Amino acid sequence: MTYQEEFITFMVRAGVLTFGDFTTKSGRKTPYFINTGNYRTGAQAAKLGDYYAACIQENLPGGVSCLFGPAYKGIPLAVTAAASLFRSYGRDLPYCFNRKEAKDHGEGGDLVGYKPQAGDSVVIVEDVVTAGTAVRETIELFKHVADVNMKALIVSVDRMERGTRDCSTLDELREDYGIAVYPIVTVREILSFLHNREIDGRVYIDDAVKDRMEAYLAEYGGR
């Protein structure tokens, strides 16, 4: 299996990728849901970092100064991705993340970890981007930190849904900021891989679930 196919299987087994009847934060009724809050063990964290590292290595084999994880969910993702990049590929990249509230004592500041310098190429590490709010806030934050190049955004799954315009949220970010966006997998890849495929004796996407997912993408998918 490819690392993308392994990642889909990993999400299913971790209870992160589930199927049923859900309501997204935007109020959309969706037949599938991705809850990265269900990762809860050291083994899962280590493996998750491997998938992010594989995606970074494949798409960004060089020219990266540091990884940035937006608080809160992006923090452990940036840490485990950096650890895996070193362990698997010998790339010792620094990482940093933001505080929700600026520290007003000691050294102060908004960032923890590596202090980005002018000219650095920063890669944002996120889970699933819905409205893109955290990414937009990150780009705005860095305007007050240093004159860096926001090189890329790495996400676990591209839901391929419309944002505030006809295109997907990730395409909006590409257009608005000129940032490259690399998902580990897309919802289309999930659909293709899991359709009528057994994982541990269970089929998660049968013909009925596939039809519901196709209908959802037809209604809410980015053009």
Give 105's pLDDT tier (boundaries 50, 70, 90).
very low
**pLDDT for residue 24:** 82
Reported as a single tens digit per residue, the pLDDT across 174-206 is 999 999 999 999 999 999 999 999 999 999 999
In DSSP terms, 149 is beta-bridged to 121
Catalytic choice (25, 100, 105, 144): 105
Largest CA-CA distance found in the chain, in angstroms, rounded: 58
pLDDT at 215 over 90: yes
Catalytic choice (73, 103, 143, 195): 103
Contacting residues for 215 by C-beta, under 8 A, at least 6 apart: none
Contacting residues for 188 by C-beta, under 8 A, at least 6 apart: 160, 217
**pLDDT for residue 130:** 75
> Catalytic: 143?
no
Report the predicted TM-score, pTM, of the whole model to 2 decimal places.
0.93
**pLDDT for residue 205:** 98
Q: Which two tokens mark 104?
A: 């007003």
Q: What domains are there in the chain, each with its CATH number?
A: 3-220 (3.40.50.2020)
Give 106's pLDDT tier (boundaries 50, 70, 90).
very low
> Catalytic: 195?
no
Mean pLDDT of 27-32: 91
Which residue did the predictor score with more confidence, 82 or 135? 82
**pLDDT for residue 169:** 87
Reported as a single tens digit per residue, the pLDDT across 144-182 is 889 999 999 999 999 998 888 888 888 899 999 999 999
Q: Buried (b) or exposed (e) across 69-89, using 16+ Cβ within 10 A? A: bbbebbbbbbbbbbbbbeeee
pLDDT at 17 over 50: yes
